[in-house]
Structure 1
Amino acid sequence: MPQKDDQLTKVACGISKATASKRAAAVLLLEADVILHADWVAGLATNHAAPDSVLRRVFTLDPRSEAWSLLGRRELSPSAARAAVAHPDPEVRSILVGNSRLPTEAYGALAEDADPAVRRRMLRIAEACGVELPKEVVVRLATSPYGGLRSIAAELVGLPERNLLLLAGDRDPRVRAAAINTRTWHRLPPAVRAAAEADPDARVREAFERVARPLMPLPTTVNAFLAEAEEDRRLAAALASPVDADLAAFLATHEDPSLRERAARNPHTPTPLALRLATDPDPHVRLAVSTRADLTEEQRVAIDYTAPQERYSFPAWVEEHFDDPDALREIAGSRHVMLRRGVTRAPELPADVVERLAIDEDYYVRAMLCENDHAPHELLVEMLAGSERWVLLTSRRNFARPGLARFADNPNHRLRYAAMRDPHAEPELVERLSHDPNDMVRHHAASHPLLPLPRLVELLGMTEQGVARTAARNHALPHDLMHQLLDIAGVER
């Protein structure tokens, strides 16, 4: 890998005798190299082992720098979050609004920020995403003299019952309309709902319709189905409504294949009627019939169905048996591949079911099992070698096992990557793989806590493809060296 040897001066810092571990440290002093310095800062910004003192220094940077955009996404300690939301630049505070990992108190500070733009952005996100603000902040908003703030408070998580009832009867129709929403509907007394339905303001009545309409019973008869104005409710009725015999027959013979498919999936459609669809010209309809819960194994396999080539598709009724080990065994033994795929999603699987699914002939059964923490180590390694989502497999509970180090020289770079997940891996192995020709292997080694410090320091001086940034994310990077990197990069103390 190329190094900027003409701009590098290695300065030996020797062995720090003041530290308990007496670790060796080395620091690279570089001439002005904006790109490399930016990589250090960005790496430190996302280094979860970086102390608050390092993060506070990063907070002094230009809010348009990449480090700040990264800090807008990473988890911050309570003290670092307090320092961040107190930053004097409103642009910085606005970036933090989008961080989904801030403590509740930090969100509260941003919701009452001195800058109106920051406040508005925080409140919009809290309203849309259900972000929890401190109760006292929500109450202050709900009792604000400004109708706009009261209407926002009506849709926030954590609004006390007393304040909700006051807002539902607020003098401002915008506030009354905001108080009628999916989060508050179940908390509103019948008298308040009835008042909203008859409210003199159209906005409140429309809010009532938006919430109440989807909660009304779905059509169960042909006349009610034809009279239903909303397409989504008609489709939902065809799929799950307790349809009567006439509506079931109407849907099962409809010219629209999407309605026939839903009729085939609807558990209220009589079995004999559903079986008539087993020879439907549409393959989606035939597949829907074949996965019904009320069919025998012989009836299923007699249907000419085609299983979709995707990971998550499986019959919804299988989930109803997730807490029944005997039912899981029976379904896992089905000749219908969609049922076997569904079993893999159960949070608790008997050992014999895991063993059976791990050798299933269907690729997606094995792949879906690998997304379950019960997946056996051998299957995870097998699937990792050729999976497009291979990195995710390395985080499964059963993946890291002694013996993975044997793949350190494997031609498959995914397996070389896995070698560093061996809990008995030696620093020498990690150091060797830090020279690997594959980018992902090399980067993983650069961030590995077992990487020897001299090699880690060497990688901090690499300018190729962000290796220095990855090295700066290494949790084993000594804190004093983190500060020295920021010193060299010109970041204020």
Structure 2
Amino acid sequence: MDGVARNPALPTPLLLRLLAFDGGGGRTPRDALQRAGLPESAVALIVAHPNPGARIDFAMSARAEPAQRARLVDDPSPKVRAALAYGPEVYDPRTKVAPLPDAVCARLLDDPDPSVRTALLDSPHLAPSFVASMAAHRDPEARRGAVSAWEILPPAERSALLADPDPAVRRAAALRECRRDARVTAELLRDPGAAAEAQRCGLLVSADAERCAAERTHLAALAENPSLPPDLVERLAVDPDEAVRLAVSLRPELDETRRMAIDFTAGDFDKGDGVRWVRDGLADPEVLRRAATSAHPLLRRAAAKSPHLPSDLLRLLARVEDPVLENLLGIYHPDTPDEVLMRVFARLGGTFSAWMAETHPRFPREGLAVRYADHPDGNYRRLAARDPAATPELIERLSHDPAVWTRQAAAGDPRLPLHRLREVLHVPELASSAGANPALPEDEMVAVLDRAGVPP
């Protein structure tokens, strides 16, 4: 039944039958509730579904249109409204979630249940315009959230947040303002809860910078600070603490000769997440060029997380022998060369990175049947089913493969001969894949629903 629920050829009447399922201890399959392009008749069924779990699944669908999910804003269950407020949980960076309309978010922010308000403020899918609109909200948590839209807030609202009656709001606002105000930075340096971040990003006068260096409390954070005097940068570049030297080596003003003269060690699994100037400039061609052409592995890895890499920089990074870099290209870049994707798959079979490579639109297809149909590793034989030239005979053969993943790939392939498709529909480990096969006849889909006790 779960396979049928995600079958792209599922007729609308059977979809509606699945969506209405809520009897005898049964459940509506999540794949039916979170399908893309649901018709209006299906959405109407879902928002009125008697099981709140079904409505929660729909509220958190990454495939539903925001206006469709927004129809749950008045749901009687606070758990449903909280699910709507937070939105989809997305693990694939390639999946983009459109935010709910600002007016709907405003209603959720004023929801009588605190769990709904908390879920909204924790959501990663809020529009910048709505985040900015929270600056004058009565809830201090909302005002603190508005600080993340600091750059688009009017000066009057920034000033109000800096003088907010709530100390957590004032601190959050000050940590944004300190990047251009040395006086605010000096105040934050006296706040134990804010000192580390102030040393990392605040505008520092020389005396404060020297004092922070002498105290050595947050020295690695200080080494990142853009306003450090050049002489202090030179001293920290030879500091006995390896983390401090690494932070200095990532500074944006260094030329390549100076950068690579620093004695640093880049971690084998470090993805370059901490290189703030690259992370903030992933759409800036100049930032990307400086990072991608650097000999520093963490700068190259940070650049690899940009989907905006021009083709020459992408080709340059694809030639670097760095497994972490290849993984990042496979996850984040839409034009990653197929040979890079294949290397990631070969090296990391069964991991998230391998799955991201295999589901990448540029993952190779042609020639896989010839290359891998008889491979000793079932994980590779499974790839043969991706080849558009694979014959029905080969697909049927793979459906009998010793490796379950290979059999499942064949069971879901529309080229599988019909007699074999009907057979695998009754094999427990293959039934879900067969149910999702778009070549499955409608009468078989009906039979699946009948056997599962789904009322007509």
Q: Same fold (TM over 0.5)?
A: yes
Structure 1 residue ranges without an equivalent (≥5): 1-40, 169-174, 199-204
Residue 316 of structure 1 corresponds to which residue in structure 2? 276
* 2:213 alignment partner, one of 232, 237, 252: 252
Residue 374 of structure 2 corresponds to which residue in structure 1? 409
Tell me if 1:278 matches 2:233.
Answer: no
Report deviation, 1:132: 2.6
CA distance in 2, matches of 1:106, 1:289: 49
Residue 439 of structure 1 corresponds to which residue in structure 2? 404
Residue 425 of structure 1 corresponds to which residue in structure 2? 390
Report deviation, 1:413: 3.1
* 1:296 alignment partner, one of 255, 273, 277: 255
Q: Deviations over 1:383-433 (max 9, x none)?
A: 211213322212223213422222221223333232222233333332222
CA distance in 1, matches of 2:108, 2:83: 15
Aligned residues: 421
Secondary structure, aligned partner of 1:392: helix
Moved more, 440-449 or 328-337: 328-337
In structure 2, the CA distance between the partners of 1:194 and 1:320, relative to structure 1 (3 Å rule), is: closer
Tell me if 1:84 matches 2:57.
Answer: no
CA distance in 2, matches of 1:110, 1:73: 15
Q: Which amino acid aligns with 1:122?
A: V
Q: Which amino acid aligns with 1:272?
A: D
In structure 2, the CA distance between the partners of 1:486 and 1:150, relative to structure 1 (3 Å rule), is: closer
Tell me if 1:182 matches 2:145.
Answer: yes
State the TM-score, normalizing by the size of structure 1.
Answer: 0.72
Q: Which amino acid aligns with 1:281?
A: P
Residue 228 of structure 2 corresponds to which residue in structure 1? 269
- Is this contact kept in 1: 2:144–2:173, CA < 8 A? no
Q: Deviations over 1:100-158 (max 9, x none)?
A: 54444554443334xx3x2x2233334445963695x789899x9xx938997997979
CA distance in 2, matches of 1:354, 1:196: 42
Q: Deviations over 1:267-307 (max 9, x none)?
A: 21123212212232222111111111222322222222111
Residue 132 of structure 1 corresponds to which residue in structure 2? 100
Tell me if 1:362 matches 2:325.
Answer: no
- Is this contact kept in 1: 2:291–2:300, CA < 8 A? yes
Q: Deviations over 1:185-222 (max 9, x none)?
A: 98899599969979xxxxxx44xx54444123337368
- Larger RCO, structure (CA 8 Å, separation 6 or more): 1
Secondary structure, aligned partner of 1:386: helix
* 2:72 alignment partner, one of 72, 85, 110: 110
* 2:173 alignment partner, one of 215, 220, 232: 215
- Is this contact kept in 2: 1:413–1:441, CA < 8 A? yes
- Is this contact kept in 1: 2:260–2:295, CA < 8 A? yes
In structure 2, the CA distance between the partners of 1:212 and 1:73, relative to structure 1 (3 Å rule), is: farther
Give the 5 Å matches for 1:12-411. Answer: 41-58=1-18, 59-62=20-23, 64-65=25-26, 67-71=28-32, 73-75=34-36, 77-78=38-39, 79-89=41-51, 92-93=54-55, 96-104=58-66, 106-113=68-75, 116=76, 118=77, 120-129=78-87, 132=100, 148=112, 180=143, 182-183=145-146, 205-206=165-166, 209-216=167-174, 217-218=177-178, 220=182, 223-228=186-191, 231=193, 233-256=194-217, 259-310=218-269, 312-313=271-272, 315-319=275-279, 328=288, 331-371=291-331, 372-387=333-348, 388=351, 389-405=353-369, 406-411=371-376
Answer with 1 or 2: which has the greater Rg: 1
Structure 2 residue ranges without an equivalent (≥5): 89-98
Q: Which amino acid aligns with 1:394?
A: E
Residue 95 of structure 2 corresponds to which residue in structure 1? none
State the TM-score, normalizing by the size of structure 2.
Answer: 0.77
Residue 470 of structure 1 corresponds to which residue in structure 2? 433
Residue 5 of structure 1 corresponds to which residue in structure 2? none
In structure 2, the CA distance between the partners of 1:297 and 1:177, relative to structure 1 (3 Å rule), is: closer
CA distance in 1, matches of 2:297, 2:161: 52
Q: Which amino acid aligns with 2:225?
A: N
In structure 2, the CA distance between the partners of 1:152 and 1:380, relative to structure 1 (3 Å rule), is: closer
